Amino acid sequence: MKVAVLGSGIMGNGIAQLSVMVGDTAVAYDVNDEALQRASAAVEKSLARFVKSGKKTQEEADEAFARLSFTTSLADAVTGADVVIEAAPEILDLKQDLWKQVVEHAPAEALLGTNTSQLSITSIAAALGDQAHRLVGIHFFNPPVMMRLVEVIAGLETKPENVERAKAFGEHVGKTVVVCQKDSPGFITSRAYAILRLECVKMLEEGIATAEDIDTALKLGFNFPMGPLELGDMNGVDTYVHAISGLEKAHGDRFRPTVGLRNMVAANRLGRKTGAGFYDYDTEGKKLVD
C-alpha cells in the first residue's frame, strides 16, 4: 500500500514513519527540500531509538527507511496513492488549497484523511465540491509513533464507508481508534484536553503551584505520560493559543486564552523551539529545571 503524507513536520514525518514500520511504502511531501531534510533526519533518529531499545533490529530499521521517500512535487506524492494523509499546519485556507490539488492527481478510490486536532472536517471538505464525501478526519497524536490513539472524525458529508476505511487504516498502523460522530470543533480529545491545559495555565498564573509540580501532579495522579505544560512547550505555545482561540469562537468564553498566554506569544516564549516557554531549554531542547 502506498501512503502519501502531505506535510513533513513532527506529525507528518511521524505518520510516514508509522506507515513504513508496518510494511507500507510512504512518500512525504513538503514545499521545500530543507523541510524534507529535517524530516528525513528525524525519522532516522527515531528509528535509531527503536534499534537502541531493542524494539527493532538494524536490518528492520534500514528496510523501513528504504520504503520512505521524499518529494516537493504534490502530484508525484499522491499519484497512485492508496491513502493520502494531509498533515499541514492548522490553517483552514492552506488545507483547503492542498485538497483542491490532491483530487486533481490522486486516484478516485484513494482514502483521503486530514490530520487536524480542531478544525472542522466539513469546512476543509468544502473545497472538494462534489468530492467532499471522501474526506474524513484522521487525528494522530504527538508523537505518532508512540501514542496509541487515533481519533476518526466524520464530516457532515463524509460517507460511512470512508469512516470505516479510516478506522481500518488506523488499526492497520497499530492504533486504537475512537470515532467522533459529530463534526464539532475540538472533537473529543482536543476539546477536553484544551480546557484541562487552560486550567493548569490559570493555576500557574495564580501562583497555586510551580509548572513542575502541576505537571508532576497530573502525570502521577492521572497517569499522563507528559504534563500539560511541558506538552504545551513541545507542541508550541503559539499553536495552543491558536487552537483554543478557535475553540473559543465555537464554544464560548470558557476557552478564552489568558492574558499571560498571549503575552508569552508576544514575548516569543513559544516552548522548545525558541528555548523558553513554561520552562527554559538548552540549545539541544533539553528542559532546564531550576
Q: What is the pLDDT of residue 118?
A: 80
With a cut of 50, list the residues of the chain below it in pLDDT.
none
Q: Which of 51, 49, 39 is nearest to 14 (CA)?
A: 39
Strand-pairing partners, residue 149, are: 176
Instruction: State the pTM of this model.
Output: 0.84
Q: What is the pLDDT of residue 127?
A: 94
Q: What is the pLDDT of residue 103?
A: 95
Using DSSP's 3-state secondary structure scheme, residue 288 falls into strand
Tell me the C-alpha distance between 29 and 52, whole Å. 28
If you write DSSP's letter for every residue of 3-45 in order, what string do you get? EEEE--SHHHHHHHHHHHHTT-EEEEE-SSHHHHHHHHHHHHH
Q: What is the pLDDT of residue 287?
A: 87
Element spanning 138, H or E? strand 135-140
Tell me the C-alpha distance between 202 and 264, whole Å. 13
Order of strands across the sheet with 135-140? 68-71, 25-29, 2-6, 83-86, 111-114, 135-140, 149-154, 176-180
Q: Which of 266, 265, 247 is nearest to 256 (CA)?
A: 247
- DSSP one-letter code for 181: -
Report the relative pairing of strands 111-114 and 135-140 from DSSP bridges: parallel
Catalogue all structural domains in the chain, each as residue range(s) with its CATH number. Answer: 2-180 (3.40.50.720), 189-277 (1.10.1040.10)
Q: What is the pLDDT of residue 119?
A: 87
Tell me the C-alpha distance between 18 and 7, whole Å. 15
Q: What is the pLDDT of residue 290?
A: 64
Tell me whether residue 175 is exposed, middle or buried, using C-beta atoms within 10 angstroms of its C-beta: 0 to 12, 13 to 18, 19 or more.
Answer: buried
Contacts of 37 (CB under 8 A, 6+ apart): none
Please report, for residues 92, 160, 163, 226, the alpha-carbon distance to residue 156 in angstroms, rounded to integers and kept in the order given: 17, 10, 12, 33
